[in-house]
Chain A
């Protein structure tokens, strides 16, 4: 057994354990953190396949950004664990049907392509100096440039639409325009008055003895 095979089994073991943990963990924060571990481990598997760009981008996008926001939301929730588990047996049949369907679909796909479970294709040996990043970049910006650009425009539209849907001008907002703040001159705020000093009206009570 080579070191790479050993590494593959180790990473797979961690990945399976982490993903099982995600769905069995009682605490949503633990579940989210285990999902982070699962992403990280699967990026390790991609590195083993010499797909370093995909691996790094998986960490960058999912671990570095998406899961942070997930965790952010999960932590803010006031979670009542008892209520979360309340409907478990009620929803189990539905969930089981969906799950089994997914497994059957995936199995059919694998069988139909003539690749059994035992003998999946081994990736071809890559030439010296092969850069996954460069190859992907070339493909994305030449052959698939239109699908790529259209996908990014769709994403942009989705972002704009989401913001437009929830954007409202708050009447109570105390926002101050920084440009206006900077433009303020001393004369606008303070008026210095020059006047001669005056003597207090003499009175008996507060003159020091």
Chain B
């Protein structure tokens, strides 16, 4: 693998050298390092955001295909590149994106114009900013900060503003109802989600996502991951993650059958697309976090002695994320929407007690020799 990319890597280094010389001659030795550092960070951000947006685009296609198959339909199979028929459907996300890009953005009369435009930005900002601390590999992480788990909790908790502000600024009853439902739901499930993360940080003794994954490595492959000792928290996190991203069966904020499309009913064209991007980026984020915290991240599910199968790599993380995301789609194809009081009951009366009890059990368990997940 590494031999194959060697020419590319050396090309990258020489390009960087050229850039550094140019920067030094333009800005002098004092400021050039700062400019180069800023440029490098920008490049790294692009390296995360561009694949993420592509993943979001093709996740929509995968979702429509999977749900289609589950409901014995075909799903999108017409739009192709250059008329090649066996690529049927693969160009669908591109076509959708183009369509949304050129559609007119309509601002309803009586809407608060400023907030109406700001709302989609407030929705996508946290969905992208959270990726700054997500590790893809022991070394592939934009900002390896100590409190990365806390940072992610703080940033993702801001996602709700996009929804609330959109609902209010639209000056529409349906949008407002959707925003209210969503706000109550997200605030409720955030508590259960936070508690399940408390379990993870207790078990791994760290708030750093890289360390959390390292703490799960063992001789036993997938049996060393936290999904076994933290199983109730794992389930809680997974389901609360579905609720946090407003996905079916927790999509009362959209509720097509009663409030049309909820908070984004008045949005069209690109403003709507940005909400869509935010939702799917959040979905991938929750799946990546699930994989990192409970499913061992980039670690291999097989013992290290199994040759190339036992090697930890980015591919494993990708496979796990794909699995979790597909589970989300499966939920959507299978379950009917929850009633509002059922959502609240599940969040407050089931998940919060379960997580609280399990945190206490975990604390006691970790004091005994029965706790075998130590990898300090």
Contact = CB atoms under 8 A, between A and B. Distances in A.
Given A64-B158, A75-B176, A3 B34 contact: yes
Interface in B189-231: 190, 207
Task: Give the interface size class of chain A.
Answer: 20 to 34
A60 B150 contact: yes
Task: Indicate the member of A30, A36, A53, A56 with the most B CB atoms within 10 Å.
Answer: A56
Contacts of B165: 33
A94 B122 CA distance: 38
A161 B187 CA distance: 21
B239 interface: no
Nearest to B165: A33
Nearest to A65: B187
Contacts of B157: 59-60, 63-65
A134 B211 CA distance: 14
Interface secondary structure of B, over-half rule: helix
Interface string A68-85: 110110011000000000
B145 interface: yes
A72 B164 contact: yes
Contacts of A71: 161, 164, 183
Interface string B126-160: 00000000000000000001110011011101101
B115 interface: yes
26 contacts: A29-B112, A33-B161, A52-B145, A56-B147, A59-B154, A59-B157, A60-B150, A60-B154, A63-B158, A64-B154, A64-B160, A65-B157, A65-B187, A65-B190, A68-B161, A68-B187, A71-B161, A71-B164, A72-B184, A75-B168, A75-B180, A131-B147, A133-B150, A133-B207, A134-B146, A178-B342
Considering the complex of A and B, which 4 residue pairs feature the smallest CB-CB distances, nearest first?
A64-B157, A59-B154, A60-B154, A56-B150
Interface of A: 3, 27, 29-30, 33, 36, 52-53, 56-57, 59-60, 63-65, 68-69, 71-72, 75-76, 131, 133-134, 175, 178
